[in-house]
Amino acid sequence: MKPGVLIISHGSPDAAWVRLVDDSVTKLELPAEMPVAASFLEVVEGRLIQDGIDHLEGAGVTDLIVIPLFVSSGSTHIDEIAYALGVKPFPEKETDLEPFRVRARVHFGEPVDDDPVIAHMVWDKLKAISAEREREVVLLVGHGSVHDGFRQRWERGISSLAEHVREIGGVKHADYALLNPDSLAAKTRYWSEERGMDVLVAPLFLSGGYFTKKAIPGRLEGLKYRYSGEALLPHPMLNDWIQRQIFTIMKSLTL
């Protein structure tokens, strides 16, 4: 048995987005003989998921430890990737993603959801704009999904994560909003205007880009809030989250 690690994220045409993922992966502290590949679902030509599989199998890997670097199990991408890797026999939602060519055994990890390590990362990005915690509410903002079943997974994960952030930061309240279906302006208006709270808006996205820089501020135009604007990366604790998943799966392989 020779394990290898395949880290999968969405991908972006923005080279800086890709570089943030790569920088995090290169800082992993893994056994020297364990090959690692960072691959992307789309856009990043030459580094797509099949490219990563081929690279690792070419290095003799018999067991693929797959880490889905996504913030929610409600992402339809998790569903289609798991299907295309042979982890599940059918996708829950129709997909154009064809099954991958893979000979190695696949061991599929978990997305972020409500992991406490990620909650600490969110608060680290948010705490600089916190001033009077007894008057503040953390409003965690995620992409969301309009698809039944997937939306509920988004809601479960992000609501629990927001509560973890509240506990860590010691602020009065926590809530969440999704961009799909859109609840961001309504939630912000409720907390600021009806409840009289200072709203700390925190984006739950892997890396900065259109959603953190354009979509969220655009939907909040004219409302009263404070915004960190910072995505999860860069942050050293993401490496801890990835490594913990890898070693947990490795331990199960040696039982």
pLDDT in tens, 152-168: 999 999 999 999 999 99
Does residue 254 register a pLDDT over 80? no
Reported as a pLDDT band with limits 50, 70 and 90, residue 4 is very high
Q: How many CB atoms lie within 10 A of CB 224?
A: 13
d(CA 63, CA 107): 7
The helix/strand/coil state of 156 is helix
Mean pLDDT of 147-154: 96
- Burial level of 175, CB count in 10 A (0-12/13-18/19+)? buried
What's 99's DSSP letter?
A: P
- pLDDT number for residue 111: 94
Structural domains present in the chain: 3-112+235-253 (3.40.50.1400), 116-227 (3.40.50)
Residues 6+ apart with CB under 8 A from 248: none
- pLDDT number for residue 14: 87
In 44-149, alpha helices (H): 49-58, 76-84, 116-126
Does residue 104 register a pLDDT over 70? yes
Mean pLDDT of 97-106: 96
Which among 230, 141, 145, 155 is positioned nearest to 188, based on CA atoms?
141
In the numeric block, which tokens belong to residue 162? 């927001």
In the numeric block, which tokens belong to residue 190? 């409720």
Q: What is the mean pLDDT of the chain?
A: 95
Mean pLDDT of 212-223: 96
Does residue 255 register a pLDDT over 60? no
**Torsion angle, CA of 202/129/27/37, rounded to 10 degrees?**
20
Reported as a pLDDT band with limits 50, 70 and 90, residue 253 is confident
Q: Is the previous residue joined to 234 through a cis bond, with omega within 30 degrees of 0?
A: yes
**CA distance readout (Å), 26 to 20, 30, 35, 243:** 10, 10, 11, 12
- Burial level of 219, CB count in 10 A (0-12/13-18/19+)? middle
Does residue 143 register a pLDDT over 90? yes
- pLDDT number for residue 178: 98
- pLDDT number for residue 32: 86
Mean pLDDT of 91-102: 95
* pLDDT tens digits, one per residue of 158-203: 999 999 999 999 999 999 999 999 999 999 999 999 999 999 999 9
Reported as a pLDDT band with limits 50, 70 and 90, residue 209 is confident
